[in-house]
């Protein structure tokens, strides 16, 4: 049997709902387990800014696609593929090493937060506590090293079916 149509596919936890991010945000768990996608639906781009090459900046580029995303047990799990290009192969190695992650970008929907009652009575309302995003939609993912949550490694594999 000769391999045909090889693809590099992944399954990745890219966020958690109802869990505080490192910078004080929370994604509310949607009513449906299928995650809504930005304005154009799926697939969604995976973007990467490669390191400078010989001192020259390399532009940000698309290296893959998210084909589906679901909320399972308050985990936002994405499924997709990485492009089989030179840059896509670099990203596959970075994600496969377990030191790089997919970091999500969302359309924020409506935000809710509490105001400090003392500051509000003085005429300057200051938010306190977490900012909670309701009605958000997944827009994209970025390949990076500093996700907002402590994420497990991306499960990535080449298939030849």
Residue 152 to residue 150: CA distance in whole angstroms = 7
> Going from the N-terminus, what domains does the chain have, and what CATH number goes with each?
7-159 (3.20.16)
> For residue 48, what are the β-bridge partners?
61
pLDDT digits over 20-54, tens only? 999 888 999 999 999 999 888 999 999 999 888 88
84, 6 in Cβ contact below 8 A? yes
Say what the pTM is: 0.84
41, 68 in Cβ contact below 8 A? no
Structure tokens that stand for 76 in this block? 């936002």
pLDDT: which is higher, 99 or 124: 99
17, HSE (Cβ side, Cα atoms, 13 Å): 22
Which pLDDT belongs to residue 4? 67
Mean pLDDT of 94-119: 82
Mean per-residue pLDDT of the chain: 88
84, 13 in Cβ contact below 8 A? no
Residue 38 to residue 137: CA distance in whole angstroms = 5
Residue carrying structure tokens 């994600």: 95
Residue 125 confidence (pLDDT) above 70: no
């Amino acid at each position: 049997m000769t391999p045909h149509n090889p693809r590099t596919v992944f399954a990745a936890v890219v966020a958690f709902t109802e869990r505080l991010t490192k910078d004080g945000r929370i994604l509310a768990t949607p009513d449906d387990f299928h995650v809504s996608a930005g304005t154009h639906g799926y697939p969604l781009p995976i973007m990467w800014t490669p390191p400078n090459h010989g001192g020259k900046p390399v532009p940000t580029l698309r290296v893959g696609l998210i084909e589906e995303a679901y909320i399972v047990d308050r985990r936002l799990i994405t499924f997709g593929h990485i492009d089989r290009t030179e840059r896509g192969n670099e990203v596959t190695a970075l994600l496969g090493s377990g030191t790089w992650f997919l970091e999500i970008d969302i359309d924020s929907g409506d935000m809710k937060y509490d105001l400090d009652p003392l500051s509000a009575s003085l005429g300057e309302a200051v938010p306190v506590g977490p900012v909670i995003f309701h009605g958000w939609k997944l827009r994209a993912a970025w390949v990076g090293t500093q996700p907002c949550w402590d994420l497990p490694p991306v499960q990535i594999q080449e298939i030849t079916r």
